[in-house]
Amino acid sequence: MAREYLLKHLPSVTSSSIDYRAELNDQQYAAVTSGPGPALVLAGAGSGKTRTLTYRVAWLLDNGVEPQSILLLTFTNKAAREMLTRVQSLVPLETTAIWGGTFHSIGNRLLRKHALEIGFRPGYSIMDREDQEDLLSAVVAGEEVDTTQVRFPTGEVLGDIYSLALNTDRPISQVIAERYRRFLPLTNQIEWIQKRYEERKRAANAMDFDDLLVKIVELFKTKPDIAEFYQRYFQFILVDEYQDTNRLQSEFIDVLAAHHQSVMVVGDDAQSIYSWRGANYQNILDFPKRYPSAAIHKIETNYRSVPEVLQVANAAIRPNARQFSKILRPDRKETDLKPALVPVLDNNQQAVFVAQRILELRDEGVDLEEIAVLYRSHFQSLEVQLALTRAGIPYSITSGLRFFEQAHIKDVAAFMKFVTNPTDEVAFKRMVRLLPGIAARGAEKLWEQINLAPPESRKTFGSWLEVAKAPAKSQRAWEQLRHTLDEIAPEKQPVPPSGMIHSILEAVYDDYLKSKYSNHEQRREDLTALENFSRGFKEPVEFLSQLSLMATGETEQLSTQDEDRERVTLSTVHQAKGLEWQAVFIVWLTDGMFPSARSLESNDNVEEERRLFYVAITRAKDQLYFLYPAIWPNGNIDQRVQRPSRFLGEIPGELCEEWRVGF
């Protein structure tokens, strides 16, 4: 048995002049200066989490810890760079030897040293998402999967299925049963494609993004001597945003921390909102169970928000049963402005209120870039985008493209454009490329064929398209397209826009969405919102004109060039995490919208939605507005009565001020 001989950590000859006691509050100081061993730092919203991590690294260096023995794991390389840059500004020591980066970048750095041990050559390639989708599509084509009888998942969807299975440590069959039920009959084929995909990657000496963690964990499990080397090498491990880790990332951390056990994880269980992409909420809850000797530090002083906002935030998260108890305490002074509770008649009045109040805030001295409108799902921003455009208020969207610029909106519009203008070549080609087996060249051939058709065959779209010969594998879809076009424009007379959209979705596009996109449910919600919006138009030409103008972002800009640089932020709450604004509007606070309808199926999902609501609230520094419409048409002729979000009912009435909206 080998003798253990430990080297002492001696203070560096050169150390910083940091007065840690003066620079940090009591809770931050306790975490930063804690001794070796496991530690869980529960850092509430706006409490200085990054500051705590940065000073922890500086403190370790000041106390003689060698930079190369420190591992800092983050979720973005940018976060790691910013923290290490701040450390460098704090201590007069060389910090470039610190191992800092994302889980996957650190995994890659380790794998480059040990590629041969896992059956790869040292110069292996790393495939980006597009490369992965191309290879998966090639595997499907090579296996001669019959996609004429049923829509087989695209490379994008297959990649998501395999990734979710790997990162959550679940069988592919279970992932399909829980998240992709449409593909249950294809489970065996999907599993076979995955095996062939792995073979093709190895033959090409290539890894995808997930492999960078999967393979390093496999290496540590199969080569204990290599694992032991790194377990001893990394004496202090720090992990940022620990509440967002998945099963695979948690396992990677636990393996590396096995020897020294000096792992400090920093996060906020109240901001765990990414289970839909594989994050495992249990990781942070169970940390004290996996590390029974772990010290738990709570950092609860909030430097961002006024007390009135924090009182609402504390009340909002309190009903969650599964959480570490903590209370955000304000550093700022009280104001005389409580968060506003704003019931409105419908989604249109909601949007008008937001636009008008934003203009008032601007007149009151709040810059537009200090204002945000947050929502649960992207489709809920439709009317707000319209209202801001009409009011000449510039905006940017952190949750993706403008509503009308999205691919699925443009796809559906292509059907409508073609039946209202049969000479629209671009619309025709976009429409037919949605059919299985038809690519750019096939679309060109079909366009040429229908334009050679005699006039007598053009009385209806069905008879007109019948003259073209679609590929054999596309024949069934081509027939369906002909019937759909006749349905939305009988005798070539287009029906109203809402009827068009409904028919296009039911007959053709719904199936395409499910096979093409992993987030097909969110895109379907967008299209339902588009159908609602279209009810305000009788003529398709007028509707399509509005779509085109909105897609190009045409709007009256504010008066000066400098002011044009100011933009209100529109964002989903997920995309807003980590950001902050002076004034925040949270819209569509009704049951079924926020919390979402799908979340109401289980208590765990409702608790995650409540955490999402908490994240939205804690983005506000000074002013907060809760809005909820009383009615919504929801794609039907009859309007649906909306109930205020259950989350609003959990906030004591005296913490908010109700605003009654009138004309």
The shares of helix, strand and coil residues in the chain, as percent rounded to the nearest 5, are: 55, 15, 35
Q: Are 29 and 21 in contact (CB under 8 A)?
A: yes
Specify whether the CB–CB gap between 575 and 426 falls below 8 A.
Answer: no
Which residue in the block uniquely carries the two structure tokens 């002909």? 482
Instruction: Give the helix ranges, DSSP H, for 26-171.
Output: 26-32, 49-62, 77-90, 103-114, 129-142, 155-168
Number of H helices, E strands in the chain: 30, 18
| Whole-number Å distance between alpha carbons of 471 and 436 | 9
The 10 Å Cβ neighbour count of residue 159 is 22
Tell me the three state secondary structure of residue 626.
strand
The residue assigned the tokens 């204990």 is 224
Alpha-carbon gap, residue 95 to 620, rounded angstroms? 35
Count Cα neighbours of 574 within 13 Å in the Cβ-side half-sphere.
14
Contact of 271 with 243, CB cutoff 8 Å = yes
Alpha-carbon distances of 421 from 213, 412, 418, rounded to whole Å: 52, 15, 5
What does the alpha-carbon distance between residue 350 and residue 328 come to, in Å, rounded to a whole number?
30
Structure tokens belonging to residue 448: 């040429």
Interatomic CA distance for residues 289 and 370, integer angstroms: 42
| Rounded-to-integer distance, Cα 234 and Cα 544, Å | 60
CA angle 618, 623, 625 (to 5 degrees): 85
SS3 39: strand
Q: What are the distances in angstroms from CA 438 to CA 39, 396, 434, 474, 504? A: 56, 35, 7, 7, 18
Catalytic residue ranges: 49-50, 240-241, 271, 619
CB neighbours of 14 closer than 8 A, spacing ≥ 6?
Answer: 92, 93
Q: How many CB atoms lie within 10 A of CB 12?
A: 16
Closest CA to 380 of 161, 629, 579: 629
Q: What is the DSSP string of 377-394?
A: SGGGGHHHHHHHHHTT--
CA-CA-CA-CA dihedral for 146, 152, 156, 157, to nearest 10:
-150
